[in-house]
Amino acid sequence: MLEILQFDFFRHALIVGFLASILCGVIGTLVVINRLVFLSGGIAHAAYGGIGLSIFFGIPFLAGTLGFTLATALVMAAITFHAKHRSDTVIGVIWAVGMALGVLFVDLTPGYHVDLMSYLFGSILTVTRIDLFVLTGTSLFVILSVGYFYHDLSSMAFDEEFARLRGVPVGGLYVFLVCMIAVAVVLIIRVVGLILVMALMTIPPFIAEGYAASLRSMMILAVALSALFTGAGLFLAFAFNLTSGAAIILAAAAGFFLSLGLKRLSLRWKKNSP
Amino acid sequence: MSREIIRVEDLWFSYNGHPVLREVDLVVREKAFLALIGPNGGGKTTLLKLMLGLLKPDRGRIRIFDAPPAAAAHRIGYVPQGIHIEKGLPVTALDVVLMGRRMPGSKGRGHGNRDKIAARHVMEQLGIWDLRDRPVRGLSGGQRQRLLIARALATEPEVLFLDEPTANVDAKGQGELYDLLRALNARMTILLVSHDLMVVSSHCHAVACVNERLHYHDEAEITDEMMGAFQCPVDLIAHGHPHRVLRSHED
């Protein structure tokens, strides 16, 4: 089993999976505690518009998609900032429009048939060296900036109005957070696909939330869980010749249901032994 | 006469086209203990948020320490209604109190020793130092309420705004809370939104009835007969069942 570690492509896939786990664990934690899961889903789907745009105009994938997705994310941030809990309709519309634009752009591109599957599930095994560099740089940036704003971010998530009274730049941090989500989504779609982004951004933080005593430990635990699921999924994919993205999601889902079961058991145990 | 802390002039506010507050005038002086009472949806919390600068008035002027709210609101310790707090967030009680130690303009992202000492001081004052390492989601309603008061006091405020601080607190806890507020009133101005007439009659210097308009009643009017003499259109919830206490304003 371990001999597959000798293959370059597999080692690369593991490293990429780990870097994606850092992004997903840290940003996903912020997404989950700020209740931005639907917004992130909207950004991830609208990103397809950027993919279509890049293909149609023949611009490099990363630049085109990143530009389009950041613009979409900023529009969403502007619309949702004042009504965070009542903005699901707007997000739903942008979500659909982004995808439709992507499909139309691809239709209009002569002689081009993009594989929608690789967008949904990615292709972690065909990652390039440049992807690795970009991912590493972004992960470092995310860790440093979240570390710098750590107290402000947790104060904002706990009670936004109080945070604002204490001088926390709530509006700026919200826009910053939405932009980080957009960047992470674009980078990770490239390597593991849209479905996996959403799975990795929500499942590990959700499990971690139940055990963590602080935001910091929630992030670290989420990164670790995410890396565990990614690694397990990759091994399964290789051993049984499966699609890697789908295998990783199933590993994460197994973890999700396992943690639900454990929670249930520990509750019952607590009840029976007061 | 003591210094003016808050001045509200001809304040109007509407929400989605529905008028919430109109023609509100209010002056609060240093060391006052003012209760805001009124029906649900009457605009009490809205008025607090306008004075804190969290909402912008449609019309009118608000001065806090003779400055606009945005410039002075950090001198107010705010204790919001506990229901809006994000309960799922993994933070300990001490973390929450330390959130009050962030001072506007301070670039200090961490918490120094001074902050921890200050946090300990207010937590001991409120009897929740033992809970410091407990996650907030495991705390009872009353404990959470004290925690929010501790967070507000950690900001070293000159004015304290409390929004329904007794909503989740039992009778004994309420008594302790009011004793604490009375002690704090020796050094800070207090504005309290409350349904509880007991506190209004026995602790407050003045009462403002808020129901779109604001009617101010100063200390001289608060007597044992005030329940009958007052003319505020408020339903007060006391001991679990609603009863109308005050008659209508004549306007």
Q: Which two structure tokens, joined as six digits, stand for B38?
A: 């009124």
Radius of gyration of chain A (CA): 19
* CB within 8 Å: B89 and A163: no
**DSSP structure class, residue B131:** G
Residue A78 lies in a domain: yes
* Cα separation of the two ends of chain B: 30
Phi, psi of B27 (to 5 degrees): -125, 130
Contact A197/A24 with Cβ under 8 angstroms?
A: yes
**DSSP structure class, residue B3:** P
Residue A271 lies in a domain: no
B158 contacts on A by Cβ (under 8 Å): none
Would you call B241 exposed, middle or buried from its count of C-beta atoms within 10 A (0-12, 13-18, 19+)?
exposed
- Strands of A94-201 (E only): list them: none
pLDDT at B39: 80
Residue B158 CB contacts under 8 Å (≥ 6 apart), including other chains? B5, B65, B75, B76, B188, B189
* CB within 8 Å: B96 and A158: yes
Cα–Cα distance between B205 and B217 in angstroms, integer? 9
Q: What is the mean pLDDT of residues B30-51?
A: 88
Which of A193-202, B116-125, B214-223 is predicted with the least confidence, judged by mean pLDDT? B214-223
| List of domains in chain B | 4-89+159-244 (3.40.50.300)
A213 contacts on B by Cβ (under 8 Å): 90, 92, 133, 135
Task: State the pLDDT confidence band at B10, using cuts at 50, 70 and 90.
Answer: very high
The total number of structural domains that make up chain A:
1
Cα–Cα distance between B46 and A73 in angstroms, integer? 31
Radius of gyration of chain B (CA): 18
Residue A25 lies in a domain: yes
Task: Give the closest of A149, A161, A212 to B90, CB-based.
Answer: A212
pLDDT at B240: 35
Residue A272 lies in a domain: no
pLDDT at B178: 84
Sequence-distant contacts of A172-176: CB under 8 A, at least 24 apart: A173/A149, A174/A77, A174/A81, A175/A74, A175/A77, A175/A81, A176/A145, A176/A149
Q: In CATH, what number is assigned to the domain containing residue A21?
A: 1.10.3470.10
Residue A194 lies in a domain: yes
The shortest C-alpha distance from A214 to chain B (Å) reads 5
pLDDT at B107: 59
The shortest C-alpha distance from A168 to chain B (Å) reads 7
DSSP-derived pairing of the beta strands B159-163 and B189-193: parallel
Residue B12 CB contacts under 8 Å (≥ 6 apart), including other chains? B19, B21, B22, B23, B24, B57, B58, B59, B60
* CB within 8 Å: B86 and A33: yes
Taking one residue from A and the other from B, the number of pairs with CB-CB distance under 8 angstroms is 84
Residue A130 lies in a domain: yes
Cα–Cα distance between B102 and A167 in angstroms, integer? 8
Please say if the pLDDT value at position B113 is more than 50: yes
pLDDT at B160: 94
Residue of chain B nearest A150, judged by CA positions? B109
Taking the whole predicted model, whether its pTM rises above 0.90 is answered as no
* CB within 8 Å: B86 and A157: yes
ipTM of this complex: 0.85
Phi, psi of B247 (to 5 degrees): -80, 175
Q: Which portions of chain A are predicted below pLDDT 50?
A: none
For the beta sheet containing B18-29, the strands, ordered from the edge strand earlier in sequence to the opposite edge, are B18-29, B4-15, B59-64
**DSSP structure class, residue A273:** -
pLDDT at A10: 84
pLDDT tens digits for range B185-202:
999 999 998 866 666 666
Residue A199 lies in a domain: yes
- Strands of chain A (E only): list them: none
Share of chain B above pLDDT 70, in %: 78
Residue A274 lies in a domain: no
Average pLDDT of chain B? 81
CB crowding A238-264: b at 16 or more within 10 Å, else e: beeeebbbbbbbbbbeebbeebeeeee
Query: Any CB–CB contact under 8 A between B161 and chain A?
Result: no
Cα–Cα distance between B251 and B245 in angstroms, integer? 18
Residues belonging to chain B: 251
